[in-house]
A and B are shown apart, each in its own frame.
Chain A
Amino acid sequence: MQATNKAAVRQDWIEIGAVDDIPRLGARVVKTPEGDIAVFRTADDRVFALRDRCPHKGGPLSQGIVHGHRVACPLHDWKIALDTGEAVAPDEGCAARFPVRVEDGRVWLSLMPDEGCPNA
């Protein structure tokens, strides 16, 4: 059962481009019928993907300033942790996280958000 589920999820992985297509300390957007997904690249070349909606007032996180493993929302400067999607305390809320991995310099994204965040 477990194996079948994994296989089913695996099929959702799509190739979205090269790591180098995303500016370091920046982000790009993947447009989907369910809404935009922001794909971030940090200074240490880690790649993260979050729903492109700040939990505060829906600001596009992809447009924020990336620093460390965080992004500052461009509308009201909330800080969102890229690895969890959680707002940095004392703010509260989350942006849904999408599985993302890098293979041979190419970025693969799953359109199935991780569970646990209402802001999917």
Chain B
Amino acid sequence: MREKLVMIGNGMAGVRTLEELLELAPDLYDITVFGAEPHGNYNRILLSPVLAGDKTLDDIMLNDEQWYADHGITLHKGKKVVRIDRARRRVVAEDGTTADYDRLIIATGSNPFIIPVPGHDLPGVIAFRDIRDVETMLAAAREHRHAVVIGGGLLGLEAANGLMQRGMDVTVVHIMDTLMERQLDGVAAGMLRKSLEERGLKFLMPAETEAILGSGRVEKVRLKDGTEIPAGLVVMAVGIRPNVELARAAGIHCERGIVVNDTLQTFDPRIYAVGECVQHRGVTYGLVAPLFEQARVCANHLARMGIGRYEGSLTSTKLKVTGIDLFSAGEFQGGEGTEEMIFQDPGAGLYKKLVVRDNRIVGAVMYGDTLDGTWYFELMRDGTDISDLRPTLLFGQAHHLGDSGHGEVQRVAAMSDTTEICGCNGVCKGDIVKAIVDKKLFTLEDVRAHTKASSSCGSCTGLVEALLAHTLGGDYSQAPHKKPLCGCTEFTHDEVRAAITGNGLKSVRAVMDFLEWKTPDGCSKCRPALNFYLVVAWPGEYEDDYQSRFINERAHANIQKDGTYSVVPRMWGGETTPAELRAIAEIAEKYDVPTVKVTGGQRIDLLGVPKETLPAIWGDLAAAGFVSGHAYGKAVRTVKTCVGSEWCRFGTQDSTQMGIDIEKMTWGSWMPHKVKMAVSGCPRNCAEATIKDFGVVAVESGWELHVGGNGGIKVRVTDFLCHVKTPEEVLEHCAAFLQLYREEAHYLERTAPWVERVGLSHIKAQVVDDAQRRRELAERFWHSQKFAQVDPWAERARGAARHEFTPLKQVG
């Protein structure tokens, strides 16, 4: 006999909990849902666009009645629960319907607050909360000319904008002297007001309503100062209150909301609560992302998995008014111990303010261009030390990370539907917005899965997030506080690494068992990461799990679009000889290589080699003295050089030899991502060392070391690490830097984002300032190289991993 699960409330947070639960444990419970509204579950966030005429009611239904039927859920719609009998474990609805429960979810949401002024109960005075309110507003817009919205917050302004779109003459009455005072500072609020006034909205503020007048129906609103405004419709949007009456009457501990713990249980452990009715660690939430996070944890607990914890959410806000870009998060007003960084260009309608405490962003307000909102929010959420970013922080991420493939694209609100967002997969704004609405998507991962936008190189992630925020408005925010490594686990990259070293875990299986992986053998995202972390943690001891490596690293060649491979032999420092070139030429002819190409890293690429031919071609290359160039791996790729003091009249040091020495020291090492290096012989920098992961520039007095550059998707100039005098010092610093990167970066994180995440100061402290720490890091790198510098090509040419390169059988 299955346990009985009853849910009171049929809104987004509650139904999301059921969806998550059905995913985890489809057969655990008999489920009954009571909903006071006569509908299935709909997307309350999108009521504003319905009001404004951008969407229809059908567009915003999330779960129709068929969904409940398909999952065997009993739905009592239009039935309001009036009593919870905790002794008998039974809920009772207004019409006498009862349901017994073993576990109960309270998801009663919130109620709009109605100011009890005289006349507040007149017909034509409504809140802005549900489908019925929208229907009332639409009917009023057809029959009446004047509307008054009481409340100049997020909801009030969206209502006012919607009614104006429907042709009404709208006045907003607000008690404060600035709009959206809970999200905006005075400057941004002023810009918003000006922009809304230009569109035709009228504002009376600060102003307080004294009475609503009318006989039989609302006719006008009278303010405290005696002003009377005509009104065929009054919308009260002055705030919401968690709906706790039912819970309180049942003796469940409530304060402002129903008090829950980190597993969303109330003081009666059989009773859970999720959504806007909940108070968690003293905070109530009204945005969708935190509510969905609660739903996930609650479902996890109901499914008896018991590993999820809800630890609260940071939230950010956007306004869903077409053409207005506005962003707010955290302690935007500043206060004691904070400093403010402000960028203002009134002519262009731009305003940005960052509130900083102890070199960490704690709040942000943006108006006009909010594209960087997601970036600031990320820095804020991760508590990133921004001291290294200060000089350019206000100019946004694009200032030091030039995106390739997006041109001047900046303001998502102003973009046309045909603007291309994702240059890799050819996805336009219209496609993404349509998918968000039609497929009911709420997260970046959802959008990636459905549209492929930002799923390849990821450089348009910020734009996609901005589109999500813009489409879902105030209710989009990145709630998950910590980001799990992948869908197979709740643990982050850092937690997984700590578990590996802290508990002596020495195989992929052992890690998955110890950390209770949710899938039997992981996925294509986590297995390569785990394999890498184990390689770094246990050099010489861990046996590489080739089935957990991406094909390029399993086959030691780079897969091409037609399934053939490319072969790039190593040329130390990019220097070669006539004999080597002759050998390559002969091999290319012998194996009919279709394309021979010089790479960006000063190597020769043989393209179009069938997999079966690889061991033979490698054997010939090995005979000519070549080893693998690792052009296929998350590994040290190339050290690019110029000709240096040996030939160049400007050269200051023998930089070519330095490049060769660095490459001989580092080749064969597995890295979190590919690593490219370069050595230039003078500050003219012909080897382009300042856009490499590790770059060396020779000067008269020695060597300048630079780190964290990138010439790829996001062009980033290196940060200057330090100046050293001798070649030995260059090698030791290089080894120490690379080892720190190997030990601390997340798998698939290039040095550029890693340096930005942890901060240059953190790296300097270990690689430059602390000689002993540097020495230890370098020693660990050199130690691991003893096991890594085995040429994988020669091994395979001699017959290793033969199964990888031969068909199982040839038929016909």
Contact = CB atoms under 8 A, between A and B. Distances in A.
Nearest to A27: B808
Interface in A12-69: 14, 16-17, 21-26, 28-33, 36, 39, 43-44, 57-60, 63-68
B419 to A, nearest CB: 23
Interface stretch (B223-231, B252-260, B517-525, B656-664): B517-525
A115 to B, nearest CB: 21
Interface string B330-349: 00000000000000000000
B550 interface: yes
Given A68-B521, A74-B559, A75-B561, A26 B547 contact: yes
Contact of B551 (A24, A43, A74): A74
A116 interface: no
Contacts of B726: none
Nearest to A60: B563
A39 to B, nearest CB: 6
Interface centre among B550, B563, B803 (most CB of A within 10 A): B563
B116 interface: no
Contact of B547 (A23, A74, A75): A23
Interface in B548-594: 548, 550-551, 554-555, 559, 561, 563
A22 B808 contact: yes
Interface string B747-789: 0000000000000000000000000000000000000000000
Contact of B550 (A24, A65, A79): A65
A16 to B, nearest CB: 4
Contacts of B807: 28-31, 36
B808 A67 contact: no
Given A22-B808, A30-B808, A43 B550 contact: no
A16 B809 contact: yes
A117 interface: no
B139 interface: no
B449 interface: yes
Given A60-B563, A74-B550, A75-B559, A31 B524 contact: no
Contacts of B521: 25, 43, 67-68
A59 B563 contact: yes
B555 A64 contact: no
A36 B519 CA distance: 30
A63 B551 contact: yes
Interface in B504-562: 519-524, 527-528, 546-548, 550-551, 554-555, 559, 561
B802 to A, nearest CB: 11
A77 interface: yes
Contacts of B561: 57, 75
Nearest to A41: B547
Contacts of A25: 521, 547-548
B801 to A, nearest CB: 9
B304 interface: no
B812 A63 contact: no
Given A74-B551, A77-B524, A31 B811 contact: yes
B450 interface: yes
B524 to A, nearest CB: 3
Interface residues of B, number: 29
Contacts of B810: 30-31
Interface string A68-90: 10001011110100000000001
A111 interface: yes
Contacts of A57: 561
A30 to B, nearest CB: 5
A67 B524 contact: yes
A111 B507 CA distance: 38
B527 A63 contact: no
Contact of A63 (B519, B523, B555): B555
Contact of A65 (B450, B527, B563, B809): B527
Nearest to B552: A74
Contact of B803 (A21, A44, A60, A75): A21
Contacts of B808: 16-17, 21-22, 28-30, 39
A25 B530 CA distance: 15
A14 to B, nearest CB: 7
A63 B559 CA distance: 9
A31 B521 CA distance: 28
A111 B811 contact: yes
Contacts of A43: 520-521
A67 B520 CA distance: 8
Contacts of B559: 60, 63, 74-75
9 contacts: A23-B803, A24-B547, A25-B547, A43-B520, A58-B563, A64-B524, A65-B524, A76-B456, A90-B439
Interface of B: 439, 449-450, 456, 519-524, 527-528, 546-548, 550-551, 554-555, 559, 561, 563, 803, 807-812
Interface of A: 14, 16-17, 21-26, 28-33, 36, 39, 43-44, 57-60, 63-68, 72, 74-77, 79, 90, 111
Q: Which 10 A-B pairs have the closest CB atoms?
A: A72-B524, A28-B808, A25-B547, A63-B551, A65-B524, A74-B551, A16-B809, A60-B563, A32-B811, A33-B812
Given A65-B528, A68-B520, A90-B450, 18 more contacts: A16-B809, A23-B547, A30-B809, A31-B807, A31-B810, A32-B812, A33-B811, A33-B812, A36-B807, A39-B808, A57-B561, A65-B524, A65-B527, A67-B523, A68-B519, A75-B561, A79-B524, A111-B811
